[in-house]
């Protein structure tokens, strides 16, 4: 699996895989192939036993590329064809971020659940419209928060926290650098109106992790900032952001997102998570252990007994996808709660709206 | 060297040592042995060639213990004896933090320079009085910011930054957990009026590092918080703090200080520093490389060429002490600028004063 480029990072399970449904019992379709995350989302669902039926994008060459990877799918000629297909229970989408909410609302109104790439929404009004639509239709709006659900080190850590091994969670610090590789990016990537600003685009990942690791039901953004330090040729773009949150249970969070991964790093980003509890601490080195291993999912856990290193790859799998399928079939909330998903987006948009701009690319 | 307990952590050089003065050419005395850092401060000066003449503390057993370690010193019966000794050019002190400023002012008025353990001052008024005294007397008020000046990984990183290898510095994140070991602590440790709150006591270290690594001439605290999460038996104490700063040059800082080092860690704290520049990144694992090495000073540097691991122990030494001696002798500012020292304390006190209290030990 390539990991130099985050946009096309599509993990596949190497160990534990739970197939949760019989072949053909849960069908999904794909609409919108703008972001490479669509491959990761599709992989996750297929591994858990879902059946891919059809795909639509207005760009034929993107569809052709998708069909090379997934020959079992059928290219269809309109969104409406998928919406009218009663067999399809879930629509997966990595359409332009600014189009996700509107598409999701159409999908839910058509009686299907929706699985959007992150960020699922870009502005408060979209979050509110999705919340209302979920309530009105009873359908689900999932978001692909891949930096937690598709990272075995993170899944392992969640289980460790849930086991009580860390005690009460006090602090979560997340460092989330990403490789820019500007020439490879489409123009919409640099326009916050189309892609969300950095705090929404890649910030929403981090906020969702904080809520999950801290077991928080609500939280407040207490500080945030963003900057364009080194990309003056894209004046609307922000290449740096950070934010602090405090959760209802008193846990704090700082996260930093940036596009400054050096070219020499053997992964698209040296993503880290540090969790402090009253009984122990955890660090996750998600994608690489710098200058030590180009493999990912290293979990460093320290408690009163000692220092423990766990290589999580292949140990816990990506259980989100199977749980999500079951949630769609049984109308449960095992994979994730709808409120949690929408809260993460609400907070990411809060962080962006209140962010002090500390550099504008003209230094 | 023991490293399970930060209060008595006293590094000695293992490699590069520069003796900057002839034997007997620069004499210093010690007043106040309340904090174990006095041994680290004394070691640093002795290694650089300074001569220790005398020591005073109101507690005879502390003096006796000091003289066992440093038999070349003479115990004297009053502060005044040291202040009147014209041979003594510098007074080192780890007296109670709340007494440092007043002692420092007496020392400077007596025509000597002063070297206080951190934190050098606890309130704004003290910083202002020290600033005025420095200007009036022409004497120097140094502070032992050991988490930079006595950590070879940090000294190495400073040189790397100064060489331009990281480009423009954008972000400094510092995680500074410490082991509490409450039964070993004197009662004054838990009283912020005597020891400073956590953001002043161990926060000042981190702010000083940020100013140094970012090459900042000034900075502003933009957010801070503190908490007593798990020490309700000491209601005035804070066991957690964090703060964000923005420097005049646009670099940002987040630091977290806490007293939650798990008992199983083979060091008093897993101190880390992460620096992002436009051309590269650095991580310092200061005291330990968890589950990999109980040695410290691991520097992980990534640039466009690749991932580099540098073991800094023995490579660069602790040049602060020699430069400081020369600063005293030549009235230069090679080791540190007076404004920088006072700015670090001003900002630490700002961070404490504006901190939101998010837990009070009664959760």
- Same domain for B127 and B266? no
- Same domain for B157 and B287? yes
Q: What is the pLDDT of residue B13?
A: 85
Indicate yes or no: CB of A227 within 8 angstroms of CB of B242. no
Q: What is the pLDDT of residue B7?
A: 82
- Same domain for B108 and B162? no
pLDDT at B363 over 60: no
Q: Are A271 and A176 in contact (CB under 8 A)?
A: yes
pLDDT at B312 over 70: yes
Domain count, chain B: 2
Q: Give tens-digit pLDDT for B184-200.
A: 999 999 999 999 999 99
Q: Are B47 and B318 in contact (CB under 8 A)?
A: yes
Q: Name the β-bridge partners of A319.
A: none
Weakest mean pLDDT among A3-12, A231-240, B272-281: A3-12
Section B278-296 average pLDDT:
98
Q: What is the pLDDT of residue A361?
A: 77
- Same domain for B215 and B281? yes
- Same domain for B161 and B107? no
3-state secondary structure of B130: helix
**DSSP secondary structure of A222-269:** EEEEEEESS-TTSTT--SEEEEEEEETTS-EEEEEEES---TTSSSS-
Is B334 within the bounds of a domain? no
- Count of all residues that appear for chain A in the document: 363
B5 confidence band (pLDDT: 50, 70, 90)? confident
The separation between CA B162 and the C-alpha centre of its own chain, rounded to angstroms, equals 21
In chain A, residues with a C-beta closer than 8 Å to the C-beta of B222 are: 223, 225, 356
Q: Are A47 and A321 in contact (CB under 8 A)?
A: yes
Q: Give tens-digit pLDDT for A43-61.
A: 999 999 999 999 999 999 9
User: In angstroms, what separates the C-alpha of B306 from chain A's closest C-alpha?
Assistant: 4
A163 confidence band (pLDDT: 50, 70, 90)? very high
Of B281, B348, B274, residue with least CA distance to B119 = B348
CB-closest option in B225, B263, B302 to A252: B225
Backbone angles phi, psi at B267, to 5 degrees: -155, 165
Kindly state the tokens that stand for B90. Answer: 């510098």
Kindly state the tokens that stand for B161. Answer: 């930054």
Query: Which run of H or of E encompasses A153?
Result: helix A152-162
- Same domain for A273 and A157? yes
Domain holding A105: CATH number? Answer: 3.40.50.720
- Same domain for A277 and A201? yes
Is A335 within the bounds of a domain? no
3-state secondary structure of A171: strand
**Chains A & B: contacts with CB separation below 8 Å:** 163
Give the separation between CA B240 and CA B335, rounded to whole angstroms: 31
Q: In the listed set B125, B144, B163, which residue is the last one of a domain according to the structure?
A: B144
Of B290, B253, B254, B255, residue with least CA distance to B269 = B290
Q: Give tens-digit pLDDT for B131-180.
A: 999 999 999 999 999 999 999 999 999 999 999 999 999 999 999 999 99
- Same domain for A132 and A162? no
Q: Name the β-bridge partners of A308.
A: A301
pLDDT averaged over chain A?
Answer: 96
User: In angstroms, what separates the C-alpha of A196 from chain B's closest C-alpha?
Assistant: 22
Q: What is the pLDDT of residue A362?
A: 62
Beta-carbon contacts of B207 under 8 Å, excluding residues fewer than 6 positions away, are: B219, B243, B245, B253, B255, B344, B347, B348, B351
Q: Give tens-digit pLDDT for B330-343.
A: 999 999 999 999 99
Is B329 within the bounds of a domain? no
pLDDT at A359 over 70: yes
Q: In the listed set A116, A145, A174, which residue is the last one of a domain according to the structure?
A: A145
Give the separation between CA A263 and CA A114, rounded to whole angstroms: 36
Q: What is the pLDDT of residue B192?
A: 95
User: Where would I find the H helices in B244-315?
Assistant: none
Indicate yes or no: CB of A170 within 8 angstroms of CB of B260. yes
Q: Name the β-bridge partners of B307.
A: B302
Domain containing A111 equals 6-145
First to last CA, chain B: 38
Q: In the listed set A84, A112, A145, which residue is the last one of a domain according to the structure?
A: A145
Q: Are B226 and B199 in contact (CB under 8 A)?
A: yes
Q: Give tens-digit pLDDT for B95-121.
A: 999 999 999 999 999 999 999 999 999
B2 confidence band (pLDDT: 50, 70, 90)? confident
CB-closest option in B168, B240, B307 to A266: B307
Section B33-58 average pLDDT:
97
Q: Are B148 and B205 in contact (CB under 8 A)?
A: yes
Give the separation between CA A42 and CA A64, rounded to whole angstroms: 16
- Same domain for A76 and A160? no
Q: What is the pLDDT of residue B154?
A: 98
A14 confidence band (pLDDT: 50, 70, 90)? confident
Q: What is the pLDDT of residue A291?
A: 98
pLDDT at A363 over 60: no
- Same domain for A154 and A275? yes
Region for residue A281 given its phi and psi (left: phi exceeds 0; alpha: psi -120 to 50; beta: otherwise): beta
- Same domain for B214 and B356? yes
Indicate yes or no: CB of B250 within 8 angstroms of CB of A358. yes
Q: Give tens-digit pLDDT for A77-110.
A: 999 999 999 999 999 999 999 999 999 999 999 9
Section B206-219 average pLDDT:
98
Beta-carbon contacts of B183 under 8 Å, excluding residues fewer than 6 positions away, are: none
Indicate yes or no: CB of A254 within 8 angstroms of CB of B244. yes
């Amino acid at each position: 699996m390539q990991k130099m480029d985050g946009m096309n990072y599509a993990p596949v399970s190497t160990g534990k895989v739970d197939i949760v449904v019989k072949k053909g019992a849960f069908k999904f379709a794909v609409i919108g192939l703008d972001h490479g995350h669509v491959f990761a989302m599709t992989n996750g669902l297929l591994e858990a036993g879902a059946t891919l039926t059809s795909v639509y994008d207005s760009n034929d060459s993107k569809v052709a590329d998708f069909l090379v990877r997934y020959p079992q799918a059928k290219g269809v000629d309109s969104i409406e064809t998928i919406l009218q297909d009663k067999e399809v229970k879930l629509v997966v989408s990595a359409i332009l971020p600014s189009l996700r909410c509107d598409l999701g609302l159409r999908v839910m109104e058509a009686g299907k659940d929706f699985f959007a790439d992150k960020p699922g929404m870009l502005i408060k009004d979209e979050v509110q419209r999705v919340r209302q639509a979920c309530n009105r239709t009873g359908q689900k709006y999932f978001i692909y928060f891949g930096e937690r659900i598709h990272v075995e080190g993170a899944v392992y850590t969640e289980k460790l926290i849930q086991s009580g091994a860390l005690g009460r969670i006090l602090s979560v610090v997340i460092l989330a650098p990403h490789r820019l590789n500007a020439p490879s990016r489409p123009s919409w990537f640099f326009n916050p109106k189309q892609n969300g600003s950095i705090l929404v685009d890649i910030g929403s990942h981090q906020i969702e992790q904080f809520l999950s690791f801290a077991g928080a039901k609500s939280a407040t953004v207490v500080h945030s900032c963003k900057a364009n330090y080194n990309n003056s040729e894209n004046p609307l773009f922000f290449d740096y952001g950070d934010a602090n949150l405090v959760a209802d249970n008193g846990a704090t969070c700082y996260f930093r997102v940036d596009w400054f991964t050096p070219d020499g790093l053997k992964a698209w980003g040296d993503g880290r998570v540090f969790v402090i509890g009253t009984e122990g601490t955890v660090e996750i080195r998600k994608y690489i252990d710098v200058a030590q291993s180009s493999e990912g999912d290293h979990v460093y856990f320290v408690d009163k007994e000692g220092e423990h290193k766990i290589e999580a790859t292949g140990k816990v799998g990506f259980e989100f996808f199977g749980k999500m399928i079951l949630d769609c079939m049984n109308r449960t909330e095992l994979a994730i709660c709808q409120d949690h998903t929408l809260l993460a987006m609400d907070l990411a948009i809060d962080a962006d709206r209140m962010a002090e701009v500390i550099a504008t690319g003209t230094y």
